[in-house]
Amino acid sequence: MIYISAIGMINALGQSNAEIAANLTRGVAPGMRPRPGWLQNDLPVVLGGVDGELPPIPDSFAPHRSRNNQLLLAALAQIQPVVDEAIRTIGPERIAVVLGTSTSGLDEGDQYVNLRLNGEESSSWHYAQQELGDPSRFLSRWLGLSGPAFTLSTACSSSARAIISGCRLIEAGLADMAIVGGADTLSRMPINGFDSLASLSTTLCQPFSRDRSGITIGEGAALMVLTREPQPIAVLGVGESSDAHHISAPHPQGEGAIRAIQQALQQAGLQPADVGYINLHGTATLLNDQIESKVVHDLFGTGVPCSSTKHLTGHTLGAAGITEAAISALILLQNLPLPPQDFSRSPLDPDLPPCGLLHTAAPLARPVILSNSFAFGGNNASILLGRVA
């Protein structure tokens, strides 16, 4: 069994586990607010941002200087003692780094292009900043590691798949410990891209509500340390699939999502009734919420509490899977109340297949949580976490 020995994260809910746990319980996200200057039409749009200063990246790491990597350093600082002890006892060659992203340093590239279009040069821009492989390359180099290091980019399932890959590296004997996670930063390209798809809400997203109109994009980073050494929280089972039904729309019967969930349950040796909470992908787009409701209804009925936390973090794209798995782990570790879905601005969509959507906070009755990540191209990942001690 693979265990989680440390968690660090930063997002619109807060800049530490303590802040995030407190704000999750209150249902308040300080970083979620209208932010001008991101849309091409100059209209304000609600985005989930990280406010305040981030750790600097020194000149010796200038080719890796991006906000994405600064977010990673902020998450790393929270798990640094565990990582340092592992480097000392296990050795740098036996520690893997597997991360997910969809933007990497794309915003820095965007700023560079704007300068060039205006006839200006930049001495601070390096092409490596926006390479998709840069987050894991940077973090591995920053820590002086020589074990496997790679980045996955499968849209919204990227960092969930990073968790799965880290587990497999340990199980295959290729690493004794894995630092897994992901980061994504606010960037004009994905924000305007989702707007062009008519999938972006300019107001705060409303998952599973009657009046939902699209996603709220957020930024953030999270890291987990995976190990074989027994810890209170374990990765009980994982599942993944790629139904390739459509480049952006989910399979109409949710076939790939169902396969991923069933794989995770089978690997864990659990039945649907054993799950205490489902952290839904819940993007607040018309199709995602409709299909995910159907999938949960078909597999779990209405007996398992579930909700999406994206109205509190925004959709952090490549960092969404690790962000929501880390929130799930915090709920297990600290016995936090389950976060309800916010229907204060619009009621539950009555046309959705019924499932166990929470309208009010509730205690976790069974110490097992399923976290779903369903991405473009039918790229699906499901992770079961459980309290084992």
Residue 90 burial (10 A CB sphere; 0-12, 13-18, 19+): middle
**pTM of this prediction?**
0.96
Res 248: pLDDT: 62
Closest C-alpha to 204, from 284, 264, 141, 139:
284
Please identify which of the residues 64, 126, 251, 315 carries the catalytic annotation. 315
Please identify which of the residues 64, 126, 251, 281 carries the catalytic annotation. 281
Range of the domain at 368: 2-387
CATH number of the domain where residue 164 is located:
3.40.47.10
Structural domains of the chain, count: 1
Residue 37 burial (10 A CB sphere; 0-12, 13-18, 19+): exposed
Res 300: pLDDT: 97
Question: Catalytic residue at 315?
Answer: yes
Query: CA dist 220 to 247, 296, 320, Å?
Result: 25, 27, 8
Q: Which amino acid is at 104?
A: S
Res 251: pLDDT: 66
Please identify which of the residues 64, 156, 251, 306 carries the catalytic annotation. 156
pLDDT tens digit at each of 389 positions of the chain: 999 999 999 999 999 999 999 999 999 999 999 999 999 988 899 999 999 999 999 999 999 999 999 999 999 999 999 999 999 999 999 999 999 999 998 888 888 888 788 888 877 878 888 899 999 999 999 999 999 999 999 989 999 999 999 999 999 999 999 999 999 999 999 999 999 989 999 999 999 999 999 999 999 999 999 999 999 999 999 999 887 766 666 667 778 899 999 999 999 999 999 999 999 999 999 999 999 999 999 999 999 999 999 999 999 999 999 999 999 999 999 999 999 999 999 999 999 999 999 999 999 999 999 999 997 767 899 999 999 97
